[in-house]
Amino acid sequence: MIDLFRYRDGIVLHLAALGYAVLGWFCGITLIVAASPIGVICGILLIAHALTISAYLIHECEHGTIFARARDNDRLGAALAWMSGACVAPYAGLKEKHLRHHADRLDVVSFDYRAVLHAAPSWFRTAELALEYAYIPAVEYLMRGLRHCQVDDTSRCP
Ligand SMILES: [Zn+2]
């Protein structure tokens, strides 16, 4: 089983995330069907969070980082995509578009935001951290904003 996974140190965390996503999805549906108003609200919140975790796992599958073999990543990605609404966007299409996104555009992942944050004043790092704790993707906005400066005109970069 250890050889099934790509990274040995990720086995427990990947299984925990996968278990939470699947169980959260089933339990959320069960709560909604129970039809008590509090159950419906809790069920909706649980499904939303479980599908968020599922979306992160789909992203990992697209990059082939969960299992050692691409075929296994694709199978899990397809199952999670089905759980998340594959009738709207099948996994194969999601994977193709996502990998093209990385290949055809400047890959924001290759941008070294850590170096920018380390060079920034401490109040800025604290603000970025506070926004991230509030689930506002401040580092993502930073990366996208500076990425355009980096590509178009370096004189506009801070
Ligand atoms: Zn990606």
- For residue range 41-71, list pLDDT tens digits in order: 999 999 999 999 999 999 999 999 999 999 9
Residues 63, 80, single domain; the answer is: yes
Ligand 1 centroid to Cα of residue 34, in Å, is 37
Do residues 15 and 68 both lie within one domain? yes
Q: Are residues 48 and 64 in the same domain?
A: yes
Contact 84, 51 (CB under 8 A): yes
Contact present, 17 and 49 (Cβ < 8 Å): no
* 54 shares its domain with 115: no
CA 63 – ligand 1 centroid, Å: 6
Total count of domains within the chain: 2
What digits encode the pLDDT tens for the residues 1-18? 668 999 999 899 999 999
Could you list the residue range(s) of the whole structural domain that residue 8 is in? 2-104
Give the angle subtended at the CA of 87 by the CAs of 84 and 92, to the nearest 5°: 80
| Residues in CB range of 54: below 8 A, 6 or more apart | 21, 25, 80, 83, 84
pLDDT of residue 84: 86
- 98-120 per-position pLDDT tens digit: 888 877 765 656 667 888 899 99
- Same domain membership, residue 77 and residue 13: yes
User: What is the residue type of 2?
Assistant: I
Q: Of all residues in the chain, what percent carry a pLDDT higher than 70? A: 87
- CA–centroid distance, 100 to ligand 1, in Å, is 10
Does one domain contain both 19 and 38?
yes
**pTM of full prediction above 0.95:** no
Pick the last residue of a domain from 89, 104, 119: 104
| d(C-alpha 16, C-alpha 30), whole Å | 20
Residues 100 and 114 in one domain: no
The rounded Å distance from CA 60 to ligand 1 centre is: 8
Q: Mark whether 60 and 9 lie in a shared domain.
A: yes
pLDDT, averaged across the chain: 86
Say how far residue 106 (Cα) sits from the centre of its chain. 19
